[in-house]
A and B are shown apart, each in its own frame.
Chain A
Amino acid sequence: MTSTPERTIAVVTAGLTTPSSTRLLADQLAAAVRDTLDGRGVPRRIVVVELRDHAHDLTNNLLTGFPSEALREVLETVVSADALIAVTPTFSASYNGLFKMFFDVLDDKALVGKPVLIAATGGTERHSLVLEYAMRPLFAYLQAVVVPTAVYAASSDWGPHANALRTRVERAATELVDLLTNQPARAAVDPFENPTPFENLLNG
């Protein structure tokens, strides 16, 4: 009998207020993914990253070229995660600057082939396509595998339309878990452990 390997889900949320509706949405998505994995008997670990806590470190990383110790741990968590849930508020017709800074600092190969669920919040439903014209292209560029259902929550989704949001959250969570469980658990690649032999570089 082989035991199912543990899967790590990283949740990156770029909300700025406390509490933020972005965090609320992130928590709903994380809970739905957790319940779906539990239903299938897949051991899991869910790590939530509040980018607000690392805002200064992100700026410093852009200026100095290296992450602080705390930020390095966060980056490593996302790099080594089996899947990612990425949630941002909508600012000026796009993801906010904090969200973009994180993905600017993250190694551009970190998300290749990684299942990603994208979600956004906003004051009005009229921003909902931000997921399709801003978020999805960003993750397409990073060669992540983004699930078809992206989840947008406007102010009204926290009141009268909460049930409709619930349905979208669950559908997106199911899609992410389907993708995730069809992939082998990630093995970390360490360029310091396995350097390219110099003969290969010479014959490059």
Chain B
Amino acid sequence: MQFGIFSVSDVTQDPTTGHTVSEAERIKAMVTIALKAEEVGLDVFASGEHHNPPFVASSPTTMLGYIAARTSKLILSTSTTLITTNDPVKIAEDYAMLQHLADGRVDLMMGRGNTGPVYPWFGQDIRNGIQLAVENYALLRRLWREDVVDWEGNFRTPLQGFTATPRPLDGVPPFVWHGSIRSPEIAEQAAYYGDGFFHNNIFWPASHTKQMIDLYRRRFEHYGHGAADQAIVGLGGQVFMRKNSQDAVREFRPYFDNAPVYGHGPSLEDFTRETPLTVGSPQEVIERTLGFREQFGDYQRQLFLMDHAGLPLKTVLEQLDILGEEVVPVLRKEFAALKPAHVPDAPTHESLKAAAERAQSMESLSTPESVVEEVKR
């Protein structure tokens, strides 16, 4: 089981002080947060991608490349990479490059992006969101898996004899997750390819998240990648912790009330009841997170949203200390004890490389004659 954090990179006024950090401060803060994630023993740091204020993360591979140079174990990921408005050729190049620089500590999460105005800035139309995600990703897969690609589609200029460089590290493309809150088509896409499926699990009730994950698991089995409970599931989550629950609620409430997306809407109490948001003691977070396993089955990756809504860097770092020292060690132990042996871990570069080598040695064992023999029988 992998544990980590994901950032949306928002620059939001701290509602308790009225102070808004500069973009420069926010960008450096994200780096500090990522380094802290490794320091406290987390496995994954994922950066969002946005092309409009108040967000700063328009260039995820620049940031992740810098973090890669300053870490040694942390897996660098995205939350999400916009498969709709980015050119799949550029995604193939950027993330293969990052893979080499990070010695394989890279995976990606594809997402469509739900900000309507962003699409036309990149020559696209949000109404084609699903079709863009389907076509662009199909091309991206080929660019990473085939040395020379001839391709023609609906949304970008055709390719003739194109080779995306650098080739993926060790010939192994980065593992891909597909993130979607509400579109069954994306769960279906993840299942079809045997990729991972990630539900952000923040804005919607568990009953809905479960529908998406159950669909993905069922179709993963349908497409022959393994049993439904072997599908690769990731979940988001949102927590704020203090030793005493009441202190956590008191401190977090002004941030919640003014947060982007859900601020000025439901009460903290409503949102805590209706969604997986947990504001309370480390023990409460442990129990709620273990509850995800009961709701959605054994899963492979848990990411927490920690640095948003104007929370000061100092507070975020304190939260990471609590997460790394008091929460994740317990969760690792509990999840490991509960997980059946046939349920796989999330793929990493090393595991995918080993699988590719195994597949290759199997291939060289079966000579053409033996294949013919098998067919005859």
A residues within 8 Å of B by Cβ? Answer: 59-60, 63-66, 68-69, 72, 191-192, 195-198, 201-202, 204
- Please, which residues of chain A bring their CB within 8 A of the CB of B333? none
A204 touches B131 (CB 8 A): yes
B131 touches A64 (CB 8 A): no
Contact of B266 among A68, A191, A196, A201 (CB under 8 A): A68
Contact of A197 among B130, B187, B188 (CB under 8 A): B188
How far is it, in angstroms, between the C-alpha of A192 and the C-alpha of B261 when the chains are bound?
A: 26
A192-B215, A195-B215 given; A66·B204 CB < 8 A: yes
A64-B203, A192-B211 given; A201·B185 CB < 8 A: yes
Of chain B, the residue at the smallest CB distance from A191 is B184
B219 touches A195 (CB 8 A): yes
- Please, which residues of chain A bring their CB within 8 A of the CB of B264? 63
Contact of B205 among A60, A66, A204 (CB under 8 A): A66
0 or 1 for each of B273-290: is its CB under 8 Å from A? (1 = yes): 010000000000000000
A192-B215, A195-B185 given; A201·B134 CB < 8 A: yes
How far is it, in angstroms, between the C-alpha of A143 and the C-alpha of B203 when the chains are bound?
A: 30
Given contacts A65-B204, A191-B184, 11 further A-B contacts (CB under 8 A): A63-B261, A64-B271, A66-B205, A66-B274, A192-B212, A195-B184, A195-B215, A195-B219, A196-B184, A198-B188, A201-B130
- Please, which residues of chain A bring their CB within 8 A of the CB of B270? 60, 68
B265 touches A64 (CB 8 A): yes
Contact of A195 among B131, B135, B187, B274 (CB under 8 A): B187
Q: Taking each of A64, A68, A72, which has the highest tally of chain B beta carbons within 10 Å of its own beta carbon?
A: A64
How far is it, in angstroms, between the C-alpha of A125 and the C-alpha of B174 when the chains are bound?
A: 68
Q: How many residues of chain B have a CB within 8 Å of chain A?
A: 31
A198 touches B265 (CB 8 A): no
0 or 1 for each of B328-353: is its CB under 8 Å from A? (1 = yes): 00000000000000000000000000
Q: Taking each of A60, A191, A195, A196, which has the highest tally of chain B beta carbons within 10 Å of its own beta carbon?
A: A195
B184 touches A60 (CB 8 A): no
How far is it, in angstroms, between the C-alpha of A66 and the C-alpha of B266 when the chains are bound?
A: 11
A201-B130, A204-B134 given; A66·B203 CB < 8 A: yes
Contact of A63 among B188, B205, B262 (CB under 8 A): B262
Contact of A202 among B134, B191, B211 (CB under 8 A): B134
Query: What is the CB-to-nearest-CB distance from B177 to chain A, in angstroms, rounded to a whole number?
Result: 16
- Please, which residues of chain B bring their CB within 8 A of the CB of A191? 184
How far is it, in angstroms, between the C-alpha of A197 and the C-alpha of B134 when the chains are bound?
A: 12
Query: What is the CB-to-nearest-CB distance from A72 to chain B, in angstroms, rounded to a whole number?
Result: 8
A201 touches B184 (CB 8 A): no
